[in-house]
Amino acid sequence: MIEFCSKKRMLAVVFTLVTISVVSVVLETRWSAQHKVKEISRKGKGDSNETCKLGKEKVVESCRECLADELFSEKKYCQETGFRTVVACEDGTKIMRMCSGTQWLEERNFWIFEGVTFAIGILSYGLVVIRQHRLDRMLREKIDRQIAADI
């Protein structure tokens, strides 16, 4: 069925699909960012976040992914988001809190996914071209045999 499409039609379809994909990614990114801000502001400091007793604190380690053993042991600060930050209190104690994750990590994962998808697409295209050349060669050989048999 696809072999009946002209190159212009195929390019138009591919261009349309790429445009739709880009628009949907942009819209989803904006909606997702707004949605997360509202959700985090509604949560505030939940019961899974510890606080310093004196109120003064300093961030020791910025927001990072929880380690595998923390997720496995079901720590409170890793349950909701899977990210944690380390805070040092004025009295010297260190506590861990949940945080919403980092935007760059989500973007990195998205671009890794896009890169893998692109690589699979290029590989698939290459295999289709190779297969088409093989089928064309087989057809030429068959026609050559038919012409040689008629002489």
How does pLDDT run across 76-104, given as a tens digit for each residue?
778 777 888 888 888 778 888 888 777 77
At the topology level, CATH places domain 45-109 in: 3.30.720
pLDDT at 111: 92
Domain ranges of the chain: 1-44, 45-109
d(CA 96, CA 79): 12
Cβ pair 99, 78 in contact under 8 A: no
Mean pLDDT of the chain: 80
How does pLDDT run across 32-67, given as a tens digit for each residue?
655 554 444 444 444 445 677 766 788 888 888 888
pTM: 0.42
Alpha-carbon separation of residue 98 from 51, 105, 109 (angstroms):
11, 16, 20
Alpha-carbon separation of residue 146 from 136, 138, 139, 143 (angstroms):
15, 12, 11, 5
8-state DSSP, 108: H
